[in-house]
Amino acid sequence: MARTIRQAQKQALFRDRDVLHTETIVTSATLRKRQGELSHYLEASNIQIRSMSEQAPAQVRLTAFPHMMFMHLRGPEMNAEWPRDAASVGRAVLVVVANGAVRIDGTRVQAGEIALIGPGETTVVAEALNGRNELLAVSFGAHKLEGLPFLGSSLGIITLDALEGSPLKPMVAFIAALCDLDVAEDDDTQVLQNTAQSIVRTLARAIVDQAPETAPLYDRACRVLETQYLDLALNAKSVALGLGVSERTLQTVFAKRGETFTGALRLIRAKAAAKNREANPLTAAVTIARMSGFGSESTMYRAIRELHTEGRKVA
């Protein structure tokens, strides 16, 4: 139910427009009022600012497209949480710290560093630690952005100072400029969206490439399925390509365990459907199917029946 409410809120924000832009001065008092487009956007995204220093206000500039958000924040110490659920399990976040420091799930990210929070199900806790913080944040649907490398659920960090002369620093500057850009409703935003998508792909790949993946292929493949199962186009070929192996190699690692790629993906979606149906008993079956990565109700019902059959066998 909460998912469908937030979906409706997000749709309302983008009704009759392709881009949302807002510039807001935030204080601890205005947070409690929950007014304005920034507050409505954060609520629709399930981002909760738990506390904020009263010593100084925060300045927030935000530009958002339906599947991507860019935010430029200057402000004091504050604490925020992002409880991820079925509506946000496929989203990832890039955080660039220009000044001050932020602690993300216990890991400190210093000025001059950029962090990638991969898709996952656990709650993300972020704390701005200094009195004068400046950071850029980019939130995007990993399953909506084609050409991304595999994004693990762990936190990845690189230092921008080590990238002197690379194209990444101008890309960060573009993100900052995009946050400041007040786009008119009748402007053609497609070029901006395409450029922003290319930049996010490049930055995400730079972070992922810093640390070689050492987990077994089967584990890596399962993590892809668990974080991208909402993508209806997900298949063995695309996953194998993202993992840098052949489709045959990928199928073999599942076969060695008496499984199939398709069966593993169907099982993950069936479990998601069972949870979504329990949490949203009044929601139409076709909606539950879409929420769980299925293309049709009939496919979802077959998968759930298989899930229950396997459960009885184990019992």
Read off the pTM: 0.65
Query: What is d(CA 61, CA 23) in angstroms, rounded to the nearest whole number?
Result: 4
pLDDT of the residue at 142: 76
pLDDT of the residue at 310: 62
pLDDT of the residue at 202: 82
pLDDT of the residue at 138: 94
Tell me 112's DSSP state: T
Query: How confident is the prediction for the chain on average, in pLDDT?
Result: 82
Give the tens place of pLDDT for each residue, 245-289: 899 999 999 999 899 999 999 999 998 888 888 878 888 999 999
Query: What is d(CA 309, CA 89) in angstroms, rounded to the nearest whole number?
Result: 27
What pLDDT band is residue 44 in, cutting at 50, 70 and 90? Answer: confident
What pLDDT band is residue 314 in, cutting at 50, 70 and 90? Answer: very low
pLDDT of the residue at 231: 86
pLDDT of the residue at 210: 63
Give the SS3 label for residue 17. Answer: coil
- Looking at the predicted structure, is the pLDDT value of residue 161 above 50? yes
Q: Which domains does the chain have, with CATH numbers?
A: 2-210 (2.60.120.10), 217-314 (1.10.10.60)
Query: What is d(CA 183, CA 226) in angstroms, rounded to the nearest whole number?
Result: 36
> For residue 130, which of 97, 160, 95, 102 has the smallest C-alpha distance?
102
Higher pLDDT residue, 133 or 158?
A: 133
CA atoms within 13 A on the CB side of 80: 23
What pLDDT band is residue 313 in, cutting at 50, 70 and 90? Answer: very low
pLDDT of the residue at 117: 86
**Percent of the chain whose predicted confidence (pLDDT) is above 90:** 27
**Percent of the chain whose predicted confidence (pLDDT) is above 70:** 82
pLDDT of the residue at 81: 93
Q: Is 281 exposed, middle or buried (0-12, 13-18, 19+ CB in 10 A)?
A: exposed
> For residue 99, which of 73, 123, 79 has the smallest C-alpha distance?
73
Higher pLDDT residue, 229 or 185?
A: 229
Token pair belonging to 197? 């998508």
Give the tens place of pLDDT for each residue, 83-96: 887 777 678 899 99
- Looking at the predicted structure, is the pLDDT value of residue 39 above 50? yes
296-300 mean pLDDT: 93
